[in-house]
Structure 1
């Protein structure tokens, strides 16, 4: 395996840190959109959590194997390409940088509850299921309407229905008024279980909520769980579906189509999920297979011009498939790895150590307080496997 590139020769080290500056990620020259709302203030960088999967991933800039061709220029603020099967990370831009998710968070909902609900079961929509942001995406569920749960999943994944997200979350949480809250808590528990420590859900749909964040790395972990489920794979590859008529409500049925254009335009596409809010901007998770190899791409904070989110994903997938199979800059941790180690990083809603509260993105990391440093030292000393997950440099045969 070629060494990962996290800094280029000739770029000056940050003053007093000995750490080389981040490589700028390739970006197209486009004007920022007018009236773009401010980006939510993320939690401070965590030096331990940012190195999960390999210390080369702890960067806000570009990380790719040495000697490979540059990835395409995309507007996504952060992105990552990884192998769904082996877990090898092929490259990324700020893979552990906190960003808001938008509707790609629905993949976490699926990873959490898709096995808990019978797809053939009929459910009845209640008024709270339609409690979504005005003007946000909905698949058109009707209060009092009866639908199979499989239709809700199709409405969620094809049409990004926030009404379907609420209904599925309510049902998975027991069906009562606290069902959605219980499912959101379960989503956060799932994220911790699989090592997606930078993910904190506030809504089941991905509609913006205070303190709601994820990262490109975490989305790849979540996608790996979701794509392991046969029903999920079937739903996200469905091109169009039918919303059943509701005779009792005197409403006819209608057809809806998959909004993820990758499945219509990319050979070997396995499906995925689009996302957009005015705060999060465009996000995307997509997967494809080629020559027996399955790759996943995740991206956050993108603009739709000159390329839409799925097109940026397609370009990054092409780049990933062009790399030799033995290239890697890190690893997707497995739930088995995580089960042997405690969480190495606080949740986004946890109070940050005082020394880190004034750290700016482009400034060198502040020193940990003695108490915080002691806590990290105790964790690392108690769990040799965590050191293996975070710091190991895997030796692999050189390129042939």
Structure 2
């Protein structure tokens, strides 16, 4: 897959970092440049991305952690299912892909009204890989509930996700519902969601799941059904072309959050992440079009744009 080259370079080193109990360096704040070193020079004027209506957005270099451009990147907003990236970063490493779970009634208890589901049924047996495909492709809150039950329960998983966010330096995030379902007090930011995506993409399994377009999922009676990723920029569907070099990551929608999207793409040896929260234009596929605009802008300017910040910059709390 397109992401294999990045994984082969990064996964081993990042696994050693995780094993040593160290943390990934957070992506920098959007409005304060890194502290200058050596001779100071005047940075050239930069043209920012235009035509964006989202309440908050960011485009960053996943390889270096540089923020290329952003707006309101620390504004606390409802994340919808993009919060599943933090769920995956927290829980995915804990269970082998071939482990089997027979779903109980308690596994599915508390599933929110109107939740997106992949079709997990009480009494049926699923591999962990099945459940993760349900999470990433269909944004299945039912699959999240089962994995959270395996992880010690809903509250335990929310608490561990909060700990993971804190460890990654994602200070805008408050976790109340691991599946991203609208819950009072649950917020994240474009900055934090970009951090979660960057951490996730360093994991080979995460990278594979989030880039999967179609897969089979167990159905009742031993049959299987085909499921398709709901990320239109990845699939190329519902009037959107597949974005060149796209490798994921996660889309979401709730009535409170509006449309949300974390999109990552790789071209010419560079991986960029664009995070878009709640576009206001009302345009069809607006969240996908605005993410595509950010990725286009980033790839066009990556080699010569002056970055807004680096990983040693100071968080301005914007």
With structure 2 as the length reference, what TM-score do the two structures score? 0.81
Partner Cα separation in structure 2 for residue 117 and residue 270 of structure 1: 23
Q: Distance in 2 between matches of 1:228 and 1:180?
A: 25
Out of 83-92 and 73-82, give the one that drifted further.
73-82
Query: The residue matched to 1:270 in structure 2 has which SS?
Result: strand
Partners of 1:391 and 1:211 in 2: how far apart?
22
Cα RMSD (Å) of the superposition? 2.2
Aligned-residue offset at 1:74: 2.3
2:59–2:275: 8 Å Cα contact kept in structure 1? yes
- Report the equivalent of 2:229: 258
> 1:306 offset after TM fit, Å?
4.2
Following TM superposition, by how much is the alpha carbon of 1:310 offset from its aligned partner in structure 2, in angstroms?
2.2
Contact 1:68 1:323 in 2 (8 A): no
Q: Is this contact kept in 1: 2:28–2:65, CA < 8 A?
A: no
Q: How many residues align?
A: 273
Are residue 284 (structure 1) and residue 284 (structure 2) matched?
A: no
Residue 53 (structure 1) aligned with residue 28 (structure 2): yes
Structure 2 match to 1:207: 181
Go from structure 1 to structure 2 and tell me whether the alpha carbon gap of 1:301 and 1:109 turns closer, same or farther (over 3 Å shift).
Answer: same
- Preserved CA contact (<8 Å) 1:57 1:95: no
Per the alignment, residue 238 of structure 2 pairs with none
**Larger RCO (CA under 8 A, 6+ residues apart):** 2
Any gaps of 5 or more consecutive residues in structure 2?
Answer: 1-26, 34-42, 236-241
- The alignment partner of 1:294 has SS state of strand
Render the CA deviation track for 1:251-271: whole Å, top value 9, x for unaligned. Answer: 642111011122231111111
User: 2:147 matched to 1:168?
Assistant: yes
| Aligned residues of 2:30 and 2:67 also touching (Cα < 8 A) | no
1:54, CA displacement in angstroms? 4.5
Deviation at 1:239, TM superposition (A): 1.2
For 1:298 and 1:212, the matched residues in 2 are separated by: 18
Q: Cα distance, 1:288 vs. partner? A: 0.2
Counterpart position of 1:115 = 93
1:298 counterpart SS class = strand
Which residue number corresponds to residue 228 of structure 1? 202
Quote the residue 2:40 is aligned against: none
**How far does the alpha carbon of each residue in 1:309-344 deviate from its partner, in whole angstroms, 9 at most, with x for none?**
22221111001111143520013x4xxxxxxxxxxx
Aligned to 2:134: 155
User: Aligned partners of 2:249, 2:79: CA distance in 1, in Å?
Assistant: 14
Distance (whole Å) between structure 1 residues aligned to residue 74 and residue 58 of structure 2: 9
TM-score (norm 1): 0.65
- The C-alpha deviation readout for 1:28-63, integer Å capped at 9, x for no partner, is xxxxxxxxxxxxxxxxxxxxxxxx8257259xxxxx
Structure 2 residue 114 is the aligned partner of structure 1 residue 135 = yes
Q: Determine the structure 2 residue equivalent to 1:375.
A: none
Aligned equivalents of 2:30, 2:274: Cα separation in 1? 20
Point out the structure with max Rg over C-alpha.
Answer: 1
Report whether the alignment pairs 1:91 with 2:66: no
Which residue in the other structure is 1:377 paired with? none
Cα distance change, pair 182–391 in 1 and its aligned pair in 2 (3 A): closer
User: Is the Cα–Cα contact under 8 Å of residues 102 and 208 in structure 1 kept in the other structure?
Assistant: yes
Q: Deviations over 1:63-83 (max 9, x none)?
A: xx8533331312211000000
Q: Residues of 2 paired with 1:90 and 1:109: CA distance?
A: 26
Matches within 5 A, 1:332-347: 333=311
Change beyond 3 A, Cα 1:187–1:391? closer
Moved over 6 A (4+): none
Q: Helix, strand or coil: the match of 1:330? A: coil
